[in-house]
Amino acid sequence: MSNNNYGAENITVLEGLEAVRKRPGMYIGNTGKDGLHRCLGEILDNSVDEFMAGHATTFKVVMRKDGSVLVADDGRGIPTDIHPKTGKSTLETILTVLHAGGKFDQNSYQFSGGLHGVGASVVNALSDILEVWVSREDDIHYMSFSKGKSSKELVKFEKEMLAGKHPEIVEHIMGDKTGTVIAFKPDYGIFEDVGFDTKEIALSLKQMAYLNKGLKIVFVDEKEGVEEEFCFPKGILTYLEDITKKDTLLTPIIHFEGGEKNFVLEMAIAYASDNKEKLYPFTNGIINPEGGMHVTGLKTAITKLINNYAQQKGFFKKDEKFTSDDLREGVRIVLSIKMVDPQFTSQSKVKLGSTIARKHTDRIVMEKLGTYLEENPAIGQTIVTKAQLAMKARFAAKAARESVLRKGVMESMALPGKLADCSEKDPAKSEIYIVEGDSAGGSAKQGRDRETQAILPLRGKVLNTERATLDRIMNYEGIKNMIIAFGTGIGDKFDIDKLRYHKIIVMTDADVDGAHITTLLLTFFFRYMPRLIEDGYIYMARPPLYKISWTKSKFVYVYSDEEKESAIEKIKSENPDKEMKFEIQRYKGLGEMNPEQLWETTMDPAGRLLWQVTIGEAQAADEIFEDLMGADVEPRRKFIEENAVFAEVDM
């Protein structure tokens, strides 16, 4: 029973940065890799703000061998004088007090991506060690912190003295200029992941350089001995050129800028021959992967503009009209806005919430893109023709989808002769195995737990959905069966709340063909049902590759050649006085296992191995799927050449 004595003594007051350490997710989203990278992003955002204000040209990011990261810039340097309100140095105030910074008005920064002073102090609170060097005029100021509290008072060096006191930092002070160097080591007692993803960080830095014309970024990975430099004087125009290098473009890249003092928009757009949309929206140099009001304004503007253009030029029959989806097929867009005081829906800035951005984006895109199309009618006709093809495909896909949904309703979501459903009706307790072929499907059906495990065998070759239109996809039997079994529908009818199984497990043979089928299925999920991956419902089973027996009753299952050799050595070492005779069974397919073996090794929740599929960094994942499954042969050939050395061939 709860205590009815509820008074002042029950109220906890957290001082300083204690709240950040107590509830870090409120400030950085989570304590996994994304949160770890968000900490680095907060420091980088401050350096970018200096660049956008015209006070910096270069900065450096160093991933150090000890797990810490260093960020240096040649901006004005954090102020070090005494702050009148706190009585402490301004440097200490910024790093130890929430909501202390120079971004609450437009006097220091017109456009800013930072969190109004929250960012640096939050990073400090979540760092085991944070050190700062500030170069201003003829002196270097230094201060260190631990877990948000100062561990050393602010000290001042003459520049020539720094080499003797901190020789490891000298190379990062950029000449005789002013600037700031911040090095921090995250508190891994708080963070779940134990290191930065340097490849992902390098990609983000390159993206940052694209978004800020002329900014020079130097990236150093001390562990790998890698140093890269990014600088793009043409900014997002170069960005879209690089994004579309592998594409067959139907239009040239259309690039324009517009706006006024408090809102500036820059955009690059082109149409490719495929049906995929690639849209990269940014606010004040920060990517917004979930879009926001500027994206809403963009889509509204393009839909109105192209519909009006098609009507005026006589492309439409009576009452015809494009949807936003029709005009997004094949489009490639980089949208960058800079605005005063952007409001994001969360501290991690994944979505812009400022409603004024929708109005300004709509107006500028209508004006600039409209003028371009009037001056280039051939390009306008190409875009309309592309949209007309998408509209026809939409009608065909709708008819096919409705056919699938009708089939599902008529058959009460059952697939006679294929789906062996489970008896459990609670999705949270139910799982479905997508199995390769009838042989493995038969073993799985016999060996499963009938209460909670459903089995859906796939027959024949799985369709490569990377290259197929939705109407063709909807006519493929294997995919229709999955859609009906899942219960979610697809496309604009997709409803995650209707999902019938909270574990969708892809179970294929442990060979190259099995890996190929898995990749084809993941391609479909990634392109057409990404929510299943985002919400953590997709898994891959890991069947054993070998069964090693050394007596009639003693055996072990292993999952790779390395594990096989290790297991044999271990068994020998545990039986030094015996002459061991091993019987090794190589499983070339799931169908070679009897139901009991399949249950014991791959389906029993108590002992099975499952890999949960995650999307990870969306742009990198998108490029991987496009390279491996797309129409362009060259990237796939290059991948095979570079990785063939790791492949094993069954004889």
Average pLDDT over residues 445-466: 85
What's CA 70's distance to the chain center, in Å? 23
| pLDDT, tens digit (0-9, with 9 covering 90-100), for 12-48 | 455 667 778 888 877 887 888 888 888 998 899 888 8
- Looking at the predicted structure, is the pLDDT value of residue 316 above 60? yes
Average pLDDT over residues 147-165: 78
Domain architecture of the chain: domains with CATH: 18-230 (3.30.565.10), 239-392 (3.30.230.10), 411-540+611-646 (3.40.50.670), 546-586 (no CATH)
Average pLDDT over residues 537-562: 88
Tokens of 504: 């969708």
- Looking at the predicted structure, is the pLDDT value of residue 349 above 80? no
Order of all β-strands in the sheet with 278-283? 254-260, 263-271, 331-339, 278-283, 286-287
Question: What single-letter amino acid sits at 438?
Answer: D
pTM for this model (two decimals): 0.66
Average pLDDT over residues 103-124: 58
Burial track 50-66 (b if 16+ CB lie within 10 A, e otherwise): bbbbebbbbbbbbbeee
Helices 198-211 and 236-243: angle between axes, nearest 10 degrees: 130
Residue 477 confidence class, pLDDT cut points 50, 70, 90: confident
How much of the chain exceeds pLDDT 90, in percent? 35
- Give the largest Cα separation in the chain, rounded: 91
Distance set, CA 363 to CA 31, 134, 254, 258, 357 (Å): 39, 43, 17, 10, 10
Place of tokens 């008529």: 410
Order of all β-strands in the sheet with 538-541? 453-458, 431-436, 503-507, 538-541, 610-612
Task: Give catalytic residue positions.
Answer: 436, 509, 511, 513
Cβ distance 199 to 38 under 8 Å? no
Phi, psi of 643 (to 5 degrees): -110, 0
What is the dihedral angle through the alpha carbons of 104, 105, 111, 115, rounded to the nearest 10 degrees?
A: 0
What pLDDT, on the 0 to 100 scale, is given for residue 478? 84
Burial track 67-103 (b if 16+ CB lie within 10 A, e otherwise): ebbbbbbbbbbbbbeebeeeebbbbbbbbbbbebbbb
